[in-house]
């Protein structure tokens, strides 16, 4: 989720001198490299949103990407972005539930997700569907919302932060890392690698920095605490004048609650939006 808007609604750590947009693209290309994507492959993007990562990965790898999403409005925007980028030869979309994808068994050469499978009701169901759709020997890679080992289930402050992220992010639950690993194995995957990419070696800017706000860029301002306050109060005015639909302010309040909770969770190290999983379906 990128609280600052745009085409890619997710987080990424940054290296010094790297822009916010560049960090998102690098984070997306990391998955393409992990999966060895190349021209001629047909790849599924589980929970593709408005298609920002899909465009970057298709352009970077030359693979044909099939975006899967149950939200018709987001898919409409994604198709427009694809047309504007002149990449329709490398992108298509399926309007369906990613727990019940309208595609035959063994349809894809690879599958990835970016902060999307966290919205599934349970990990076994979603990873089971991924497993069904992959060809034998093919791989899955993704970024998952997870609680870290620092999360204390007996700490009221930690529990409040978790509840706020779940409410604001429309999540039934936030899994711990072991639950993700166990679910992948239980459906038949060979787990090749799992690690928390929020833990960086060398100089870096943490993933939650845009939610705290620093620097002078438009993206930093919009997603910062003060920027969210400005946006929220602007929406109040627009809703009062009946320019914005009724309920817009309530949605803004919920998103702000989530953003504040994520920033606090990131500072405490109790949550990561980028638990990286790389798994292979056996031959």
The string of pLDDT tens digits covering residues 65-89 is: 999 999 999 999 999 999 999 999 9
Q: Count Cβ atoms within 10 A of the Cβ of residue 247 and give its class: 0-12 exposed, 13-18 middle, 19 or more buried.
A: exposed
When mean pLDDT is compared across 130-139, 162-171, 249-258, the lowest value belongs to 249-258
**Span 26-51, average pLDDT:** 97
| pLDDT value, residue 215 | 47
Beta-carbon count within 10 A of 237 CB: 11
Taking Cα atoms as reference points, which of 229, 21, 260 lies closest to residue 160? 260
* Mean per-residue pLDDT, 92-111: 97
pLDDT confidence bin for 210, thresholds 50/70/90: confident
Q: How confident is the model at residue 224 (pLDDT cuts 50, 70, 90)?
A: low
Chain centre distance of CA 146 = 12
Mean pLDDT, range 264-270, rounded to an integer? 97
Cβ–Cβ under 8 Å, residues 275 and 266: no
Tokens 């940054």, residue? Answer: 14
**In the chain, what are the domains?**
20-148+172-203+270-280 (3.40.50.150)
* Percent of the chain whose pLDDT exceeds 70: 84
Please choose, from the candidates 35, 272, 46, the residue with its C-alpha nearest in 3D space to the C-alpha of residue 177. 272
User: What Cα–Cα distance (Å) separates residue 209 from each residue in 13, 58, 76, 153, 220?
Assistant: 9, 28, 30, 25, 8
Three-point CA angle 168, 237, 214, nearest 5°:
55
pLDDT score recorded for residue 156: 98
Residue 90's contacts (CB-CB under 8 Å, 6 or more residues apart) are 58, 59, 62, 63, 64, 65
Q: Residue 190 burial (CB < 10 Å; 0-12/13-18/19+)?
A: exposed
The 8-class DSSP code of residue 245 comes to P
DSSP string, 42-55: EEEEET-TTSHHHH
Length of the chain in residues, anyone?
A: 283
Per-residue pLDDT at 218: 45
Tokens of 94: 């399926």
Both tokens assigned to 141: 């890679």
For residue 2, what are its two tokens? 């990128």
pLDDT band for position 20 (50/70/90)?
Answer: confident
Q: What CA–CA distance (Å, rounded) separates 164 from 155? A: 14
């Amino acid at each position: 989720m990128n609280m600052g808007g745009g085409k890619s609604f997710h987080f990424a750590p940054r290296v010094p001198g790297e822009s916010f947009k560049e960090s998102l693209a690098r984070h997306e290309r990391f998955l393409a490299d992990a999966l060895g994507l190349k021209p001629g492959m047909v790849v599924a993007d589980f929970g593709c949103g408005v298609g920002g990562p899909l465009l970057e990965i298709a352009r970077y790898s030359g693979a044909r990407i099939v975006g899967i999403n149950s939200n018709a409005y987001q898919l409409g925007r994604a198709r427009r972005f694809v047309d504007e980028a002149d990449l329709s030869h490398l992108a298509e979309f399926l309007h369906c539930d990613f727990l019940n994808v309208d595609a035959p068994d063994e349809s894809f050469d690879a599958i990835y997700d970016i902060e999307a499978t966290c919205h599934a009701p349970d990990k076994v169901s979603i990873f089971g569907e991924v497993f069904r759709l992959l060809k034998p020997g093919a791989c899955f890679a993704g970024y998952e919302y997870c609680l870290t080992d620092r999360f204390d289930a007996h700490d009221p402050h930690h529990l409040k932060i978790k509840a706020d992220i779940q409410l604001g992010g429309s999540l039934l639950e936030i899994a711990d890392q072991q639950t993700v690993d166990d679910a992948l194995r239980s459906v038949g995957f060979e787990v090749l690698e799992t690690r928390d990419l929020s833990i960086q070696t060398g100089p870096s800017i943490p993933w939650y920095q845009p939610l705290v706000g620093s620097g002078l860029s438009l993206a930093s301002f919009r997603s910062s605490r003060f920027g969210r306050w400005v946006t929220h109060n602007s929406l109040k005015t627009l809703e009062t004048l009946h320019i914005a639909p009724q309920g817009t302010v309530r949605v803004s309040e919920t998103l702000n609650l989530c953003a504040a909770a994520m920033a606090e969770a990131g500072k405490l190290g109790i949550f990561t939006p980028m638990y990286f999983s790389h798994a292979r379906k056996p031959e």
